[in-house]
Structure 1
Amino acid sequence: MTTESRVLRRDEWDTWYSTLELAFGGVAEPAEERELWQELTEVERSIGVWDGGSCVGTAGAFSFRMCVPGGRIVPAAGVTMVGVTPTHRRQGVLRSMMRRQLDDVRARGESLAVLTASDPAVYGRFGYGTASERMSVEVDTERVRLTVPPGTDDVRLRLVPPREAQEVCEALYAERVTTRPGMLARLPGWERLPLLDAAASRAGASPLQCVLAERDGAVTGYARYAVRPDWEAAGPTGTVVLRDVEARDPASYAALWRFLCDMELTVRITHTNRPVDDPLLQLVSDVRRCNIRIRDQLHVRLVEVGAALAARTYAAPVDVVFEVADAFCPWNGGRWRLTGDARGASCEPTGDEPDLRLSVRELGAAYLGGCTLTALADAGRVQELRPDALAEASAAFRSDRAPWLPHGF
């Protein structure tokens, strides 16, 4: 097979994106969604693999800024739009794109690459570890009751067209970014993503709606949702399809959920992406009636081990030497001494004896503080070489809040 891999030209985008759609089954996206992704695509970070005049492989990256434990916002390459046509799979096309992409990420000085995986089994071999999870819920609002905190009744709720509320919602979202690892600081243009509302994608639901929570004249929270009406012989069985919800304080968050639970003509609320430690779990009377499901979400790859580990802080003092294996990015291989605490950290190459042995994939999984090094060791993926080193490092890597990615890319 003779193929050419090169940076995408702007006038090739339609062909390139159609190849991606073909790789994912051939169903074309609604025009509104396709238009937004075209505007957001960074063509200089997008790769096309061509066989003659045909595009057979696609891969891109977004120049993200992501919160890491400690609240710092750091550059991260958001790997995206990765696809290979059925005729060219298992022929090295994906591997060649991953090689070129990670080399480019390193050249740009980004120490982290992140992605959401359509097939999680694919990316482990390139050094990505599962670093966060997402929770889906289906709340039975006929049986579940909420216990709300003091001050909930003081919150005023107001319906506002989503586009009119866009600016205040984005300002509140920006405040929330530093409170949870894995959240992305949205760059210009990305504020349009939560408002995508193509009629073809509604599956019988209403147009997008928005409710604002307010106190003393200030917006303290918002929820964006749609309603899918339905009826049975016994009465209405509609669904509130919740898209996103954020709040500045517990009372505002509870007020928004109470509003959604009390929606007339509905019997359930569905949401496909909440943190696994979402406060909702502490508000509901019966968590079993919330039909909770957990799945993998953000996959993290340390492109530069030293810089990435030094970019975050640590929940407890740590001084540990990692022996890291990284066959795909061999510059990461070897021994690294990590020293740090809640104020900062450093991570440098060392010749000292190692305390823990692991691959870069395990460091990626533990990086945001959701997956513990102890859990990875229990699965045989981390080896302790010095007594107590595992407990020390695992405690230090923890995050007080579970990492979470608020939207896909």
Structure 2
Amino acid sequence: MATELRVLQQSEWDHWYGRLELAFGGVDESPAERKLWEELAEIERSIGVWDGDECVGTAGAFTFSVSAPGGTFVPAAGVTMVSVAATHRRRGILRSMMRRQLDDVRSWGEPLAVLTASEPVIYGRFGYGIATHQMSLEIDSSRVRVAVPPGAEDVRLRFVPVAEGAEACEQVYRRTIGSRPGMLARGTGWERLPLLDPTSERDGASPMQCVLAERDGRVVGYARFHNKPAWAAAGADGSISVRHVEALDPAAYAVLWRFLCEIDLTSTVRSHNRPVDDPLLHLVTDIRRCGVRVRDSLHVRLVDVGAALAARRYTAPVDVVLDVEDAFCPWNEGRWRLTGDAKGASCERTRDAADLAVSVRELGAAYLGGVSLSSLAAAGRVRELRKGALAEASVAFGSDVAPWLPHGF
């Protein structure tokens, strides 16, 4: 029987989402999680592939803006909830959904599509490049100490119920959006996402706890975490699992991490998503005992090369002609002249000779400034056609801080 790809209808949500859960192992989410995702989902931007009455493929797209180098925010489709039924693999279903989705994103006038991948090998063939990475740490807090800079003595910490502190935490988070490329400007309702606390994901730890950092009565940071008590023959051996840490100044940030690493009856602090240049790396006394590991995070796809490259800023003046290869979205193929600096940019079609040959996947990887064009060239994925053009463009595309995606979607 032939399959049918079409936009989701509200009445089909439960079946559609149930098939998504099945594709990811068949473990039901908590009612609170499922309800939140149903309320956040944009049905008119969601598609399904149907084999008769059965949904065998799912994909959706949230409406976001992504912070880019220079402090601009670029409209982006947040690709999400992508799945193919195990019974229907290798039939072109994923490709058909990616084809339809990128055509839709182009029609919506959004220059970018972004996603986080269950497996990083999946989306490169559709033009997505890995643009941000996330760092995880497992800190031996029985041996590692956290230094604090001047001003720490003015910071007061206090426990508050998670719900009571939610608005203050969200205000801090909103003030940090744009401080790094890769962060998301979101619509109403997303402030509820970090408050989800299903028992199934605690691994025996406490309900989420919240500590506010205050200076002169004003909230300047927060930490949300779980405490998992444990005992060994030698005594207490508990662990802290960090969910979120944000602060508006270095002293408050350091004080929060010092607190987390000095909680009584614990010897390990774990955090699974921090920027790769997190200041914490310079605050700990022994980096070797912090179990640092890095993995991919946000994947970026330029849906409209000209609009996307013109929407961000550049750390140094750049005037370069890019010969872009994009077999999956052929409207992007050809030569583009990018001219820009820290104040603005333009990117237009040109017949001039190319300075760099690059695929749209590599442009996606370099877009947020965390992956250099020079490193991609060293891997054979960017070719320099005019001497000096690679260094010029690589510096211009860079960011003074590493891009970071604070949460999934």
Secondary structure, counterpart of 2:314 in structure 1: coil
Q: Return the alpha-carbon distance in structure 1 between the equivalents of residues 220 and 26 of structure 2.
A: 42
Matched residue type, 2:155: V
Secondary structure, counterpart of 1:354 in structure 2: coil
Deviations along 1:55-81, whole A, 9 cap, x unmatched? Answer: 000000000111011111221100000
Count of residues paired in the alignment: 409
Match of 2:148 in 1: 148
Q: Return the alpha-carbon distance in structure 2 between the equivalents of residues 204 and 327 of structure 1.
A: 48
Q: Return the alpha-carbon distance in structure 2 between the equivalents of residues 231 and 194 of structure 1.
A: 29
Match of 2:192 in 1: 192
Match of 1:255 in 2: 255
Secondary structure, counterpart of 1:178 in structure 2: coil
Q: Please state if 1:117 is matched with 2:117.
A: yes
Deviations along 1:32-75, whole A, 9 cap, x unmatched? Answer: 21111111111000001000011000000000111011111221
Structure 1 residue 198 displacement after superposition: 1.1
Q: Return the alpha-carbon distance in structure 1 between the equivalents of residues 288 and 92 of structure 2.
A: 45
Match of 1:230 in 2: 230
Q: Return the alpha-carbon distance in structure 2 between the equivalents of residues 245 and 338 of structure 1.
A: 37
Q: Please state if 1:305 is matched with 2:305.
A: yes
Matched residue type, 1:87: T
TM-score (structure 2 length as normaliser): 0.99
Matched residue type, 1:349: R
Q: Return the alpha-carbon distance in structure 2 between the equivalents of residues 120 and 258 of structure 1.
A: 34
Q: Which runs of 5+ in 2 are unaligned?
A: none
Secondary structure, counterpart of 2:362 in structure 1: helix
Q: Return the alpha-carbon distance in structure 2 between the equivalents of residues 199 and 87 of structure 1.
A: 31
Structure 1 residue 200 displacement after superposition: 2.1
User: What are the residue-to-residue correspondences of 1:90-109 with 2, within 5 Å?
Assistant: 90-109=90-109
User: What are the residue-to-residue correspondences of 1:158-197 with 2, within 5 Å?
Assistant: 158-197=158-197
Matched residue type, 2:363: L
User: What are the residue-to-residue correspondences of 1:242-281 with 2, within 5 Å?
Assistant: 242-281=242-281
Computed over aligned residues only, the root mean square deviation of the Cα atoms, in angstroms, reads: 0.7
Q: Is the 8 A contact 2:147 2:258 kept in 1?
A: no
Structure 1 residue 216 displacement after superposition: 1.1
Deviations along 1:259-291, whole A, 9 cap, x unmatched? Answer: 111100100110100000000000001111000
Q: Return the alpha-carbon distance in structure 2 between the equivalents of residues 277 and 78 of structure 1.
A: 24
Match of 1:54 in 2: 54
Structure 1 residue 199 displacement after superposition: 1.6
Q: Return the alpha-carbon distance in structure 2 between the equivalents of residues 41 and 322 of structure 1.
A: 37
Q: Return the alpha-carbon distance in structure 2 between the equivalents of residues 48 and 78 of structure 1.
A: 16
Secondary structure, counterpart of 1:268 in structure 2: strand
Secondary structure, counterpart of 2:405 in structure 1: coil
User: What are the residue-to-residue correspondences of 1:57-72 with 2, within 5 Å?
Assistant: 57-72=57-72
Q: Which runs of 5+ in 1 are unaligned?
A: none
Matched residue type, 1:47: I
TM-score (structure 1 length as normaliser): 0.99
Structure 1 residue 311 displacement after superposition: 0.6
User: What are the residue-to-residue correspondences of 1:9-408 with 2, within 5 Å?
Assistant: 9-408=9-408
Q: Is the 8 A contact 2:74 2:308 kept in 1?
A: no
Structure 1 residue 186 displacement after superposition: 2.7
Structure 1 residue 146 displacement after superposition: 1.6
